[in-house]
Chain A
């Protein structure tokens, strides 16, 4: 096997390097616990950098009043803290924006895991750091091991202190450098006893608990191991870069299945540790059964778990389906998953016997996929993910009433005809009623019906009658069978109903998406796509939807020609800008800029960002539901594709125009050098002859020369006018200002303009009096007439007539300009309208060969058509059509 990296891998590495070059570099001073000297090490190194001439400033450094640290700070520029007013309390916070404005090479930002004051742009300081890095500013920062997300619960187990401020592992993984600030537990304790470690007064006891020697050793081990793993990863990366074949070759892909409960987080963290060892991609999957209603707290936990998974670097997926095992396996097979991780089942075994075991199904169907069962979900009350239906939902009171009535009615009937029946028949009738209730109503009414049925059966029919006592024990069995059958039937019914509901929800989503996709495929242009996509999303999600697209100066704007769904003020605009820049979701309901009214998603297509999608849900939690968010993302990606298509089409068109313009320019230059110089030559010659005349020229000759000069000047003027028209037609800047007017007007002007040159050609005009006023641009259509008449003058011998006529034809007016000249050569009919095309016979005729092209441009811009053909009886006829429509307010003109 070839050891060298594949071209794709090399390309990938180049891209990563490029991205990294533009980004600032991140160095983390990593430690096992507070007090090991991270801040100190950071400041020491910063001083060294400053001595090298690097522009270093201090963003935020906590000295905790320690003299040695404060001394190191001496001489650094410190960015003033930002004041944030939170409910009347002025809070001080690190000012990332000030740093970005100041643009140093390197900034020191202490305590990466810090949680920002409410009202800041980001919830966490590490998000500010990401912004700084993205802005190209390098950052030195400090981090303790217990703040690392994936180690969070281990640290909690070791120390008993649960740390709330966490930092995603990806930050440490992607840091350019990690330096471990290491101190043995004994030394640290010594420093503590000397008072060199900062301990906040209010938490003194908890902190003391934290700083037990056992804890410190365990934390140190964690930190060392984390650093070692990083070194290991760097080694692997080095091997890859240098074409050294990796020992690890199998491309593992891990799928973690979680349920809607708070303890899924443990499963995710456990999985992350396993993934960390394997160095592979992983995904976290949740299967939602549509009929199943999840309680608000479980829903919140699920959202948190999925966010946690994302922070830990997993891709998250939410699927919808009744049979979780089947969905998981189908997904695993479709995505080449090699390992599936699930939590240990915690529910009682009888449930599996009754409803089937999801785990069992998963293991049996897994084929060559490994299934790992890990300790995760320990909560006993957790809902099994089997095809079970929400029992928490209350059935309407009506259902209870009806089921009770049905049973009572049944008892009454039975009582009436009891003498004709055996006891078994009565039991069967009761069973029938309970079964009917079970098939129609929810579980609650069914249970009520079965118990009531049993009670009535027992009381009225089972001997001794009219007591609840039972003489024969075998009746107990009858009661039991009645109850179980009722439950089974209602269970089956509910399951079928839930399946139908699943199908319906899926169907609805697919249909909504399909409807939008289909309509988007049919519309053209940015504005139309934006309007269509917004409308579909609004009707699907019930929230105002606003799509913003980057303008030429990269600012996000509401596309021209689309309505504004909700006001986009500066604040919303800045959130959208952030989203566009980072290509990451932000706004209401997220961690970033949650104070915004809208939630913003980047619209990313193959060529990059094409816009930002804003939604303004009335409840910010609406899109915290992963299913809703995922659906929104699906819609967004479809909209992005459509927008990209429009933008690419637009760009292609612009490029085509540019190419065509370039071609035109080239032809024009060669044409101009000839066609402009010829009249100029004549003018120069004629005028200089007159000027230098020493009395030898006769008066007639002088006049003749000057007349030539004048005529040639006029010819040049016409040429220039033609060129200008051509440029207008070509550049698409042709503005057609239509007015309803009789054809006589433009034709009349053209005839008068050409009067001199038409002297040798009798022109007959046939305009039927019933011809309506035609919507046309007077000046442009006059130009068409002039060009067609000039063309006839140029190509036909003197004395031959020119006939101009017009007829109504299929809602258009057709104008013919016919001559009796030599006619068109075969094949010329199409070409004569091309730019710079001149019929060979016309070498003597002047002009650049633009006249007919201009005619075509003008007629086309009017929505008409122009063509040429040979005329029966000799000569050529040029025909063009103009669409006719009644003028606005076309009643009668006022007298």
Chain B
């Protein structure tokens, strides 16, 4: 397939980091636009219409979170934040501002490419306007049309809430979904403070769909931030 190489906008002020990312991305079939400041990053994002944006938070002329928020005011281009800030509050702030994913430096190329693929897939899917009717990862199959969940050959019986929780994660498969977001989508806007509901149901869900609930393969915890449904 003579696919057009996806264009990635990299907003990052550190030259070493840019060099590494340039090598990694161009070596893997991406085209790269580079930008070193928040202001220029915003202009490039608007002017060049990239397929995805890799955004550093600590920029010389502003905060990356603000850049993400500004981009979200007019566009849906997937944004993956790359930052040395490892605190959970920073991650949540970036996700709340509209970032699709968050990678803490240092990270490996494999991880970066995986996150980028997820982000690009979401963009394609929302462009198509419909979600995949059947989601599969490992043994786990979620049939959104038939409302069925299978683990290998065995059918898994979920309560309505568990099912809703699972399908919400399926909708954002591969991406971090914050606790707030999950609570809001599954229990409604009044429940966003009651994270222990979420914890309890997630434990139940894991016991049903994971082979070993203490070492989950599919329903991953992003400590202090939220959950992520593994896609590959």
Contact between chains at B194 and A741 (CB < 8 Å): no
Mark out the residues of chain A between 746 and 775 whose CB falls within 8 Å of any chain B CB in the assembled complex.
Answer: 746-749, 751-752, 755, 765, 767, 773
Known: A717-B106, A751-B215, A765-B214. A893 touches B220 (CB 8 A): no
Mark out the residues of chain B between 193 and 208 whose CB falls within 8 Å of any chain A CB in the assembled complex.
Answer: 194-197, 199-203, 206
Cβ-based interface call for A840 (8 A):
no
Mark out the residues of chain B between 19 and 38 whose CB falls within 8 Å of any chain A CB in the assembled complex.
Answer: none
Which residues of B lie under 8 Å from residue A779 when comparing CB positions?
Answer: 88, 223-224
Question: Assuming A778-B221, A894-B187, what are 16 further A-B pairs, CB within 8 angstroms?
Answer: A737-B224, A740-B196, A740-B199, A741-B196, A742-B203, A745-B203, A748-B213, A748-B214, A748-B221, A751-B215, A752-B216, A778-B224, A893-B194, A893-B197, A893-B200, A894-B191
Contact between chains at A749 and B223 (CB < 8 Å): yes
In the complex the two chains form, what is the Cα distance from A767 to B199 in whole Å?
A: 16
Contact between chains at B223 and A778 (CB < 8 Å): yes
Contact between chains at B191 and A744 (CB < 8 Å): no
Cβ-based interface call for A713 (8 A):
yes
Contact between chains at A742 and B159 (CB < 8 Å): no
From the candidates B195, B196, B200, B223, name the one contacting A746 in the complex (CB within 8 A). B223
Cβ-based interface call for A644 (8 A):
no
Which residues of A lie under 8 Å from residue B224 when comparing CB positions?
Answer: 737, 777-779
The contact sample of 8 A-B pairs, CB cut-off 8 A, is: A710-B108, A739-B196, A742-B199, A742-B203, A745-B203, A747-B214, A748-B215, A779-B224
In the complex the two chains form, what is the Cα distance from A381 to B86 in whole Å?
A: 86
Q: Give A711 Cβ to nearest chain B Cβ, in Å.
A: 12
A-B contact count (CB 8 A): 69
Binding site for B on A (CB under 8 A): 710, 713-714, 717, 721, 737, 739-742, 744-749, 751-752, 755, 765, 767, 773, 777-779, 782, 887, 889, 893-895
Cβ-based interface call for B47 (8 A):
no
Which residues of B lie under 8 Å from residue A714 when comparing CB positions?
Answer: 106
A781 to B, closest residue via Cβ = B223
Contact between chains at A744 and B214 (CB < 8 Å): yes
Known: A742-B203, A893-B197. A752 touches B220 (CB 8 A): yes
Contact between chains at B200 and A773 (CB < 8 Å): yes
A895 to B, closest residue via Cβ = B161
Which residues of B lie under 8 Å from residue A748 when comparing CB positions?
Answer: 213-216, 221
In the complex the two chains form, what is the Cα distance from A782 to B221 in whole Å?
A: 11
Which residues of A lie under 8 Å from residue B215 when comparing CB positions?
Answer: 748, 751-752, 755
B214 to A, closest residue via Cβ = A765
Contact between chains at B106 and A713 (CB < 8 Å): yes
In the complex the two chains form, what is the Cα distance from A82 to B161 in whole Å?
A: 77
In the complex the two chains form, what is the Cα distance from A894 to B199 in whole Å?
A: 13
B215 to A, closest residue via Cβ = A751
Contact between chains at A782 and B223 (CB < 8 Å): yes
CB-CB nearest 5 A-B residue pairs: A740-B196, A741-B199, A893-B197, A779-B224, A765-B214
In the complex the two chains form, what is the Cα distance from A893 to B205 in whole Å?
A: 14
B190 to A, closest residue via Cβ = A894
Which residues of A lie under 8 Å from residue B200 when comparing CB positions?
Answer: 742, 773, 893
A765 to B, closest residue via Cβ = B214
Which residues of A lie under 8 Å from residue B199 when comparing CB positions?
Answer: 739-742, 745, 773
Contact between chains at A889 and B214 (CB < 8 Å): no
B221 to A, closest residue via Cβ = A749
Cβ-based interface call for B160 (8 A):
yes
Which residues of A lie under 8 Å from residue B106 when comparing CB positions?
Answer: 713-714, 717
Q: Give A763 Cβ to nearest chain B Cβ, in Å.
A: 9
In the complex the two chains form, what is the Cα distance from A765 to B200 in whole Å?
A: 19
Q: Give B215 Cβ to nearest chain A Cβ, in Å.
A: 5
Q: Give B174 Cβ to nearest chain A Cβ, in Å.
A: 16
- Most chain B CB within 10 A, of A737, A748, A751, A755, is at A748
Which residues of B lie under 8 Å from residue A717 when comparing CB positions?
Answer: 106
Which residues of B lie under 8 Å from residue A755 when comparing CB positions?
Answer: 215
In the complex the two chains form, what is the Cα distance from A746 to B223 in whole Å?
A: 7
Which residues of A lie under 8 Å from residue B203 when comparing CB positions?
Answer: 742, 744-745
Q: Give A624 Cβ to nearest chain B Cβ, in Å.
A: 55
Which residues of B lie under 8 Å from residue A744 when comparing CB positions?
Answer: 203, 206, 213-214
Q: Report B152-179 CB contacts with A as 1/0, cut-off 8 Å.
A: 0000000111000000000000000000
Contact between chains at B197 and A894 (CB < 8 Å): yes
In the complex the two chains form, what is the Cα distance from A380 to B160 in whole Å?
A: 100
- Most chain B CB within 10 A, of A710, A782, A894, A895, is at A894
In the complex the two chains form, what is the Cα distance from A710 to B111 in whole Å?
A: 14
In the complex the two chains form, what is the Cα distance from A710 to B159 in whole Å?
A: 44
Which residues of A lie under 8 Å from residue B206 when comparing CB positions?
Answer: 744
Q: Give B95 Cβ to nearest chain A Cβ, in Å.
A: 16
B195 to A, closest residue via Cβ = A739
Contact between chains at A773 and B88 (CB < 8 Å): no
A764 to B, closest residue via Cβ = B214
Which residues of B lie under 8 Å from residue A889 when comparing CB positions?
Answer: 194
Q: Give B116 Cβ to nearest chain A Cβ, in Å.
A: 20
Which residues of B lie under 8 Å from residue A782 when comparing CB positions?
Answer: 223
A746 to B, closest residue via Cβ = B223
Which residues of A lie under 8 Å from residue B160 when comparing CB positions?
Answer: 895
Q: Report B67-100 CB contacts with A as 1/0, cut-off 8 Å.
A: 0000000000000000000101000000000000
In the complex the two chains form, what is the Cα distance from A749 to B197 in whole Å?
A: 19
In the complex the two chains form, what is the Cα distance from A831 to B177 in whole Å?
A: 42
Mark out the residues of chain B between 204 and 231 whose CB falls within 8 Å of any chain A CB in the assembled complex.
Answer: 206, 213-216, 220-221, 223-224
Which residues of B lie under 8 Å from residue A894 when comparing CB positions?
Answer: 161, 187, 191, 197
- Most chain A CB within 10 A, of B106, B161, B187, is at B106
Known: A713-B106, A778-B224. A751 touches B196 (CB 8 A): no
